[in-house]
Structure 1
Amino acid sequence: MQRLAPLPTLRIRVVPHPFVSAEVATRCAALRAEKGFVPLDALFADLPEHADDVEAIRRAATLARIFNASFETRRRIIAAARAGDDDAASLFSWMEIQAIPSAPCTAITERRAQELEADLLADPADFLTRAERPYPYSANHLHWSFDPEWITRLLTLGRQRFEQFASERRSDTAILVGNGPSLNRTDLSRLDGQDIFISNYATRHPILSPLARGVAVSNYFVAEQAPEDFFDLGKWRVLPAGLSHVLEDDPKTIWLNALGGPLFFSDEPTERIAWHATVSFFWLQVLLGAGYRRVLLIGMDNTYHQPEAATEGTLLHQIDEDRNHFDPNYFRGKYWQAADTGHMTRVFIEADRAYRAKGAQIVNCTEGGALEVFRRSTLAAELSAIDA
């Protein structure tokens, strides 16, 4: 089998046409879930009648970048090809010819990942200046390292784009959306024109997604299982640099140096940002750094239905309807990591302290739920205060 070509340098992806309909994306997602990747013939299936060869290749390449370009998917393709799968071998060769981009990423052992993460946490600024040390990223049992030059370039782009993101702020108030079932009881009719920020699969929400200025994803399993949900959105994406082996760069992606370890709240999210408990904590650091002085929370239920024995990060397979989110199909058929609402409460307390220290505030406008860290109000009352 042909050897992997040298990994390409970072490039901006611009999709010239909306090649990927919801129907095509759904079909490809089902194939990928079944086979581990989308075969070449499926990439060229269901073409419009008027499509010529050039358009057919462009659409197939777009689909391949969405569904087949992540590190783990490429690894599955290579393993299947080596095992004699002709579909995988053909797909791999075609993707090489088309130069479908991939991040310079390598699978590493847990021990090596822990060593690198310890160095990174000890002195993030120094770590990023040391070209001999690869950048670590882990998710449960999976561990990777990235070429440091690649990460440095991503973070440089992230800083530049963050400045643009902050300059586009329309007011001092942001609305941060959690994805709890209380969203279905929330009056969303007055949100048009507000600075709204969503996370994860809220990209599927028929009202919130079109209104949102940005989406954040901080969880590997969310991104890896449905990359099509975060492709060509036309809105800001806020991502850990370690997700660059799953989601491609585009001109509206803000890459950040996301760190675990001891809990902190970052005053400089473009230099380092805490990655703890919930993507909402990730967003709260970004929004304060961007100049927002009031953040209204909706859909932030802070409750989870999960096995009693599950601890934070335990990988669970959602077979039945999802009772933890606004859509019963949110995680249905997918894997997700068990939550720790106590840990979430602690990070929200840390966020509250940081906001108060800056003369800013977080207001919980969730309909019900169990989050009692912040002052409670109604969305209607807080939006009326903006208009007054």
Structure 2
Amino acid sequence: MPVSQTIPDPDNPILKSRETINPYRSALRSAGSRLLWDLRFESWRSRRILNSWKDKFSGADKAVILCNGPSLLKSDLSLLDGVFTFGLNKINLLFDRSDFRPSCIVSVNPFVISQNAEFFNKTDIQLFLDNYGVKKKEIKARSNVAFMHSSTAGFARDCSMSIDQGYTVTYVALQLAFHMGFRNVALIGADHNFAVNGPANKTVVADKEDESHFDPNYFAIGSKWQLPDLFQSEVSYMRAKQTYEAFGGRVLNATDGGKLEVFPRIRLEEFIRE
């Protein structure tokens, strides 16, 4: 029986990628990007802020990263009182229904930074943002904002120079947690499962309520966003897991349900009690 061929999606990012792997081009692009960033005063101001967070919590008990899957609403956030927490992207959409506030917020996707600029520009919460925000003049430089340069170097144990986005903001938060000195980290809301299918990293426009995140207006109708790359995310997660374990630490998954199985499972209550 003949196997039918699939019709290529002209918007698939793979079709737009180069045929050859050119290390010179990659090296020049990475170095050039870093050099252009260092020509800005903001690069040095942000690096000072990032350096001030280096090993600030060395020897600290634990930290929790709040991912943005629907299951986040199942987690008892009152358990996080007194625990250092990383909120991601549009975690502020949770604020109208909860008194919880994260210790800091991490965001690196250009679409998210643009869509959430109003909140980012008025909050007093510590922000760690991709330098896209300041380069496009969307985010104001302030004492509670550190802009980060993104590269593809792997897992940054020191984030003061560059970070690797690793196809998911959760990976960036794991690098920042390590940078700050945390070695015992748990994830919640990491569903690793999306209601929308399509080519990884493809830019799409939301045409209905968001069922992939904790708020139906996370990517509101008409908003641009990029489809997830779950495979590459798992590659990044494995790198983070191996790095933490190499230094005597661990990353655990305290999500209620979900499909992320890279990290050992634990109940949030148990993690907090330890």
* Range class of TM-score, shorter chain: 0.7 to 0.9
* 1:258 and 2:150 aligned: yes
**Contact 1:322 / 1:329 at 8 angstroms: preserved in 2?**
yes
* 1:359 and 2:244 aligned: no
Show the counterpart of 1:119: 28
* 1:374 and 2:266 aligned: no
Show the counterpart of 1:179: 68
Larger RCO: Structure 1 or Structure 2 (Cα < 8 Å, ≥ 6 residues apart)? 2
TM normalised by structure 1 equals 0.60
C-alpha spacing 1:188/1:176, structure 2 compared with 1 (3 Å): same
> Deviation at 1:347?
0.7
Distance in structure 2 (CA, Å) of the matches to 1:127 and 1:241: 11
Identity within the alignment, %: 26
- 1:332 counterpart SS class: coil
TM normalised by structure 2 equals 0.83
**Contact 2:78 / 2:100 at 8 angstroms: preserved in 1?**
no
C-alpha spacing 1:264/1:220, structure 2 compared with 1 (3 Å): same
Q: In structure 2, what residue type is equivalent to 1:347?
A: S
* 1:278 and 2:185 aligned: no
C-alpha spacing 1:209/1:239, structure 2 compared with 1 (3 Å): farther
Show the counterpart of 1:217: 107
After the TM superposition, which residues 66-81 of structure 1 pair with which residues of structure 2 at under 5 Å, given as runs? none
C-alpha spacing 1:233/1:116, structure 2 compared with 1 (3 Å): farther
Distance in structure 1 (CA, Å) of the matches to 2:124 and 2:165: 25
Residue in structure 2 matching 1:290, options 174, 180, 184: 180
Residue in structure 2 matching 1:195, options 81, 84, 93: 84
Show the counterpart of 1:312: 200
After the TM superposition, which residues 19-38 of structure 1 pair with which residues of structure 2 at under 5 Å, given as runs? none
- 2:53 counterpart SS class: helix
> Deviation at 1:268?
2.0
Q: In structure 1, what residue type is equivalent to 2:126?
A: W
- 1:374 counterpart SS class: coil
> Deviation at 1:164?
3.2
- 1:159 counterpart SS class: helix
**Contact 2:64 / 2:84 at 8 angstroms: preserved in 1?**
yes
* 1:158 and 2:67 aligned: no
- 1:329 counterpart SS class: coil
After the TM superposition, which residues 99-118 of structure 1 pair with which residues of structure 2 at under 5 Å, given as runs? 118=27
Distance in structure 2 (CA, Å) of the matches to 1:286 and 1:116: 28
**Contact 1:204 / 1:229 at 8 angstroms: preserved in 2?**
no
Residue in structure 1 matching 2:220, options 318, 332, 340: 332
- 1:376 counterpart SS class: coil
**Contact 1:173 / 1:195 at 8 angstroms: preserved in 2?**
yes
Q: In structure 2, what residue type is equivalent to 1:119?
A: L
- 1:322 counterpart SS class: coil
Distance in structure 1 (CA, Å) of the matches to 2:49 and 2:147: 9
- 1:189 counterpart SS class: helix
Question: Any stretches of 5+ residues in structure 1 without a counterpart?
Answer: 1-109, 136-147
**Contact 1:299 / 1:367 at 8 angstroms: preserved in 2?**
yes
C-alpha spacing 1:365/1:190, structure 2 compared with 1 (3 Å): same
Please list the CA deviations of residues 54-109 of structure 1 after superposition, one character each: whole Å capped at 9, or x if unmatched: xxxxxxxxxxxxxxxxxxxxxxxxxxxxxxxxxxxxxxxxxxxxxxxxxxxxxxxx
C-alpha spacing 1:162/1:281, structure 2 compared with 1 (3 Å): same
> Deviation at 1:117?
6.0
Aligned-residue RMSD, C-alpha: 2.5
- 1:264 counterpart SS class: coil
Distance in structure 2 (CA, Å) of the matches to 1:368 and 1:289: 28
C-alpha spacing 1:221/1:116, structure 2 compared with 1 (3 Å): farther
Structure ID, larger Rg: 1
- 1:211 counterpart SS class: coil
> Deviation at 1:167?
6.5
> Deviation at 1:286?
0.9
Q: In structure 2, what residue type is equivalent to 1:243?
A: G
Distance in structure 1 (CA, Å) of the matches to 2:98 and 2:181: 22
> Deviation at 1:209?
7.5
> Deviation at 1:348?
0.4
> Deviation at 1:367?
0.2
Mean alpha-carbon deviation: is it higher for 176-185 or for 241-250?
A: 241-250
Question: Any stretches of 5+ residues in structure 2 without a counterpart?
Answer: 1-16
Please list the CA deviations of residues 306-337 of structure 1 after superposition, one character each: whole Å capped at 9, or x if unmatched: 13xx2222111112111101111111221110
C-alpha spacing 1:344/1:328, structure 2 compared with 1 (3 Å): same
Please list the CA deviations of residues 38-62 of structure 1 after superposition, one character each: whole Å capped at 9, or x if unmatched: xxxxxxxxxxxxxxxxxxxxxxxxx
